[in-house]
Amino acid sequence: MCSENKILSGDKMIISDKTLKKMIGTGEIQVTPLTENQIQPASIDVRLGSHFLKIDEHFMDAITLDSEIHYNEIDADEIVIPAHSFMLATTQEYIKIPDNVTAFVEGRSSIGRIGLFIQNAGWVDPGFEGKITLELYNANILPIRLKAGKRICQLVFAFMDEKADNPYRGKYQGQNKAVGSQVYKDVD
């Protein structure tokens, strides 16, 4: 397999466009739908989906880590994020990564320059499958209007030093839309 050869040869751990294309071709990494222009030198651009979640501030007086958080669902091809507001969104792409690869969700420079911060709690665990839930924060003093289908962020894939003993099979596995925090389900 392509990924094992890279690790054994001691090459850099971030996966290049050339290797991404090979791994997509063999099905080791799956990104659906995917167009050629989404593949960048060291990442894959992903597009904004049409499912969003906004915390329902009328239902709760505070957010806690041990109670379910209530969200308002929005299905729309266009959304406005008010100034200094937070919202969850999803990608159009459904991804599947092997047990020896992780992915980092990184904002696109052009998007960050308008004051929209995008993240996904750090990275995508090895073995994850599903659409990526994005955390969006408008740091600007003006609202930001977004349209589904636009490239919003990028996934940077990296090889792990070896296959994970316990690849991700958690509570967000297989998600097909934005999924709110399920921290209240954690067993500490």
Residues catalogued as catalytic: 135
Sign of the dihedral defined by the CA atoms of residues 106, 117, 133, 149, in that order: negative
- Here the tokens at position 147 are 């349209």
Closest CA to 151 of 102, 114, 110: 110
Closest CA to 157 of 5, 39, 1, 15: 15
117 within 8 A of 152, measured Cβ to Cβ? no
Query: CA 161 to CA 9: how far, in whole Å?
Result: 11
Query: CA 51 to CA 130: how far, in whole Å?
Result: 14
Phi-psi map region of 10: left, alpha, beta (phi>0 left; psi -120 to 50 alpha): left
